[in-house]
Amino acid sequence: MGQYFPAFKAYDIRGVVPTELNPELAYRVGRAYADELNPTTVCVGYDIRLSGPELYDAFARGLNDAGVDVVHLGLVGTEMVYFATAFYGYDGGCMITASHNPPQYNGLKMVRQESRPVSSDTGLNQIEKRAYEQKWERTGSGSRRDQDVYDDFVKHLLNIVPPSSLKPLKVLCDVGNGAAGVALEKLLPHLPFETTNRLFEPDGHFPNGVPNPILEESRAGAIALMKESNYDFGVAWDGDYDRCFFFDEKANFIEGYYIVGLIAQSMLRVTPGLGIVYDPRLTWNTLDIVKELNGRAILCKSGHAFIKEKMRSEDAEYGGEMSAHHYFKSHWYCDSGMIPFLLVARLISETGLSLGELVGQMVKNYPCSGEVNSEVHDVKSVLAAVEAKYAEGGEISRIDGLSIEYPTWRFNLRGSNTEPVIRLNVETKGDHDLMVAKTQELLSIIRA
């Protein structure tokens, strides 16, 4: 990762503009992408960040100079690049986004045919090397054209969840000045919802902070607004809306873990027996639901490249990570922030239960800590110290970091891919006090 340029990460390119990522590097990456993957036509879009258009222009110029035709999607969400690449049969796509990073960042998230990811083990390292060496193999003069894909994208969403399956619901939609407002303005007229639309204006200056609803300060405004009136539920999206987050009718924020169970339930109610991929951080609730509804539960290391590959190899219908990434076979195994919104609304419509009632039993059955992050000097030595203390009598798994399971509680501890941070998740079988105690106990060792 980042052997030649610090902006190159495991799954994408991401860095501070203009020191780590700038038009010159974007141009080189365009040339290198063309040489490495040999595409004919590539679609490119960007989110609301102010540096998006100039990075697009440079990346597109690199592709054009290698003889590649560029389809300009304009201001879109990440899932729309996935959609356009696969739906129209383009040879590749690139989304210019830094997701939930601070405003001074931007990035390039690239895919190949069928929106398969380009990550460090599927071409990104080679693209970095080519961008560094600049020994270009292809030359030419590709074309550029604009394409508005919003109408086709909305039709695609409504094929997955037809409006006829939805009841009139009152919903708060908070996009935090990100890109999702543009898509929702096209989608919402087709839905039987009464919505309050919060911070719908796309604004790359981030006047209300970076839209990242995993942070308490980012969701505080939505919660305050929900408490002023009666809503069936609330949804908040991050800046490029590949993740969405839910609030129940009492404005309680719902951990992504329980939404994985909810979406699995929503799909298995319609079609029992489907394959459901889940990550090792928090598992018991998902396993319970999948077993109860005769699904196939498939464990996979977290990270979008791993989940997408596992879903393809297992022919799974859905994959969910507790970090609010939700992947769908019907969306070319890619993550979407719009499909979960529709599926949760469908479940509320069909069951007649509130969102709080739908997740309430899950929260009671399997209380969890949520992800607790700690900065550490040495991830490996912390993992070793924790394993030394807890290994005895526990069932150990190393699929993703360290998981240890006991009859009444379990935890997962894993290092970050990108920073000196270790991430802890704890859950218990129906014992909230035990969950709190074990979380504190583990943190005292991790932060010692």
Average confidence score pLDDT of the chain: 97
Give tens-digit pLDDT for 164-174: 999 999 999 99
Residues of the chain with CATH 3.30.310.50: 372-446
Distance between CA atoms of 119 and 116, rounded to whole angstroms?
9
- Residue 54 pLDDT > 90: yes
- Residue 47 pLDDT > 80: yes
- Residue 97 pLDDT > 70: yes
Distance between CA atoms of 267 and 261, rounded to whole angstroms?
10
Q: Are 239 and 203 in contact (CB under 8 A)?
A: no
Q: What is the pLDDT of residue 295?
A: 98
Q: What is the pLDDT of residue 218?
A: 95
Q: Which of 112-126, 354-368, 407-421 has the lowest mean pLDDT?
A: 407-421
Residues of the chain with CATH 3.40.120.10: 13-148, 152-254, 256-343
Q: Which of 106-120, 245-259, 408-422, 433-447 has the lowest mean pLDDT?
A: 408-422
Give tens-digit pLDDT for 333-380: 999 999 999 999 999 999 999 999 999 999 999 999 999 999 999 999
Q: What is the pLDDT of residue 420?
A: 84
Give tens-digit pLDDT for 303-322: 999 999 999 999 999 999 99
Q: What is the pLDDT of residue 418?
A: 67
Under CATH, which number does the domain 256-343 receive? 3.40.120.10
Kindly report the pTM of this predicted structure: 0.96
Q: Which residues are catalytic?
A: 99
Q: Are 154 and 87 in contact (CB under 8 A)?
A: no
In 58-215 the beta strands, taken as DSSP E runs, fall at 69-75, 92-96, 105-111, 144-146, 170-174, 194-198
Please give the DSSP secondary-structure letter assigned to residue 122. Answer: I
Give, in order, the Cα–Cα distances in Å from 224 to each of 172, 174, 237, 250: 11, 12, 16, 11
Q: Which CATH fold would you assign to the domain 152-254?
A: Alpha-D-Glucose-1,6-Bisphosphate; Chain A, domain 3 (3.40.120)
- Residue 436 pLDDT > 80: yes
- Residue 148 pLDDT > 90: yes
Mean pLDDT of the 243-272 span: 97
- Residue 96 pLDDT > 80: yes
What is the chain's alpha carbon radius of gyration, rounded to the nearest angstrom? 22
Bridge partner list, 196: 172
Under CATH, which number does the domain 372-446 receive? 3.30.310.50
Q: What is the pLDDT of residue 243?
A: 97
Q: Which CATH fold would you assign to the domain 13-148?
A: Alpha-D-Glucose-1,6-Bisphosphate; Chain A, domain 3 (3.40.120)
Mean pLDDT of the 278-291 span: 98
